[in-house]
Amino acid sequence: MFPMLALPLALPGVNDAFFNASYVLQLLTNGLSNGAVYALMALSVVIIYRTTGHMNFAQGEMGTIGCLLVFSVSVSHGVPYWISIPAAIAISMIVGALLQRTLVQPVERRGGMGVILVTLGLFLIFNSIDSVIWGTDPLQPVRPFPSRPDDHLVVMHGPPQFAIRYSAVGVWITLGVVVLLLHLLLQRTRLGLGYRAVAANADSALLVGIPKDRMLMLGWALAAGLGTLAAVLFSQTTGSLDFNLMASVILYGLAAAALGGFDSIPGAVVGGVVVGLVEALVPAFFSFIGSELSLVMALLVIVVVLLVRPQGMFGKARVVRV
């Protein structure tokens, strides 16, 4: 028999845990959970961008205020989550539609740069409102899914132990249901057909009688609802809640949208999952990077994709006639 060659258990700059199956699987589970949240945030970015060509930088803060409403109703007053979360999503959708009609639309008619400044202003306004009403101290997180220490399914006893938490399964199922409902709305309804027509060519859609302004309001409403749902799930997965809950998530959502394509709904989902996995795996495996640089990695994803393939993996390159 030939002697067995021993593989190196460590590589320069690589964490030894890279070779532990339980540890890797746990990281994958965590990455997929965060990736589902980033996918929802990317969807909210893409839905607005497809119809207007603009990005709402206040999307994360709008989601935070929706999540804080759920906290006030369910955590503080004991109202069931199955009532408070749909109610908060509905309120967020109404606010998003009203903001588009009363603030964004008048500014947009005077120039696209004004919309960027408006959304940045809304970011600061909503962030200030959150801190004034709910304070700056950490709050009890919103947890619509089981989150006790023993609410998990042990797959490998390790060491270390690999377990899939029921809350992670709930987050994945929620993303799947949202994607399915969006597909049915956009592909099987007249309302969705009108939205897609405006996204493809707003002027032509207006000529055939499609109410362009209502479709733009629909896009902002859907994005606001998705932002609130993303904030609730992020509070669940991280076990945290404060007025800055989604300040960094919007950057991960933008990175996911850039990776998948700013005009592609499937690309937003794929991009969110990829960004979540990269955030979980790379700092854990390469010790010289560290978790502190995970946000920098999201920014690098945006820059690299815009340089190499500006339309993203699933996006379509814009054709300009000259």
What is the reported pLDDT for 2? 35
Helix segments in 135-242, DSSP class H: 166-188, 190-200, 202-207, 212-238
pLDDT in tens, 242-285: 999 998 899 899 989 988 888 889 999 999 999 998 888 877 77
What is the reported pLDDT for 24? 86
- Partnered with residue 156 across adjacent β-strands are 162
Helix (H) / strand (E) element for 22: namely: helix 21-52
Q: Other C-beta atoms within 10 Å of 303: how many?
A: 11
For the chain, what are the domain ranges? 41-247
Residues of the chain with pLDDT under 70: 1-19, 112, 158, 287-295, 317-322
How far CA 68 is from CA of 158, 266, 311, in Å, comes to: 38, 29, 35
Looking up tokens 């929802």, which residue turns up? 40
List of residues 6+ apart from 319 with CB closer than 8 A: none
